Amino acid sequence: MSAYNETITEEDKVSIVSRFLLHAPPGEFNEVFNDVRTLLNDDSLLKERLSGSFSQYNKDQFTPVRIDGADLAVIISEHNDVGRNRFYDPRSKRSFKFDHLRKEASEVQQQEFADARTESWRSAFEAHFANYVDNYYKHGVCSVFAKSDGSQMTIVACIEDHQFQPKNFWNGRWRAQWSLTFSPGQSTAELRGVVKVQVHYYEDGNVQLVSSKEIKEEVSITGEAETARNVIQIVQEAENDYQTGVSENYSTMSETTFKALRRQLPLTRTKIDWGKITGYRIGNELVKTDGR
C-alpha cells in the first residue's frame, strides 16, 4: 500500500500539530491555531491532548500579561508557573489564572512565595533590570524571580520586547533570560544568559530570522545593589554585542546567501536591485532606543 494511503494515528496527529503550534512565529499563534484546527477537524482532541502546547508556547515566548491591580505587566514563564494554569507576579505579590488562548489573566489573589532573604536580592535585581529595560527597550517588559535551594539562591531575570505589525506583514520578538546562582559568602559566581531574536516577514514572500546566543560571565558577589549593578553592566555589553553581530551578519547575508537563493534575471525580465534587499525589516524594528 502506498504511504499516501496510510492512516495517520492519533499520536502522530498530536505530535505534528504540537510542532506546528510550538513553532508559530511571534504574534501569529492564533492564525496557526485556526489553521491546524481546520486541518485536524477534531476539537475534542485539540482540547484534551494539545492544551499543554498552548501553555508551553506562552512560557517559551515570555508572553507578557497585565493583571488587575498591577502597574506593570508580568512575564509568563516556567519560573513563575505554580501549576493548574496559575502564575505568580513577584512584583505585585499576586497569583492569577492565565487563559493560554485568550492570553488573559483572571482570578487574581494575594499570595506570598519568597522568604525575606531571597526577596531582598530579588527586589534589588528587579529595580536595576526595570531601569535597564525602560532605558533600552521601546516596549520592553521584565520580570525577576528568585528561589532558594538549601544554601544556594538563584535569581532569574526575563526580558521580552515585541512589535507586531500584521498590516505591514511582519512580526518580531526579542527575549533574554539571565540567571545567577550563588551561596552566601561566595565571592564570585557564573552569570548565564541566553538571548533570542525571532522575526517573520511575509510580504510577497516568507522570510524568517531565528537567532540565539548563550553567554557566560563571571560576576563578583558583594551586596545586593552592587551585585545587581555588576550584572546589568555585563547584560548591557553582551546584548549590545549580540545585536550588533546580528545586524552585521544580516548585511553580509544580503550580499551572499539571499543572492544565491534567487535567479539573477527573474521571470519579469527585470534585474533585482540587491542593494535594496536590506529594506526587508527582518530585525530593524527590534532596535533599542539608543540605536540598538
Cell numbers 561566595 correspond to: 186
How confident is the model over 61-75, as pLDDT tens digits?
A: 999 999 998 899 999
Torsions phi, psi for 233 (to 5 deg): -60, -45
| Residue 156 CB partners (closer than 8 Å, separation 6+) | 79, 144, 145, 146, 177, 178, 179
Give the pLDDT of residue 155.
97
Residues paired with residue 215 on neighbouring β-strands, in sequence order: 193
The Cα 272–Cα 278 span in angstroms is 12
| Residue 111 CB partners (closer than 8 Å, separation 6+) | 88, 93, 94, 95
Task: Using DSSP, state whether 195 is helix, strand or coil.
Answer: strand
Give the pLDDT of residue 108.
96
* Domains, in order of start, for the chain: 8-60 (3.30.1140.60), 61-113 (3.30.1140.60), 116-286 (3.90.1150.210)
Give the pLDDT of residue 275.
57
How confident is the model over 223-239, as pLDDT tens digits?
A: 999 999 999 999 999 99
Residues of the chain predicted below pLDDT 50: 1-2, 291-292
The Cα 252–Cα 239 span in angstroms is 20
Give the pLDDT of residue 192.
98
Give the pLDDT of residue 69.
85
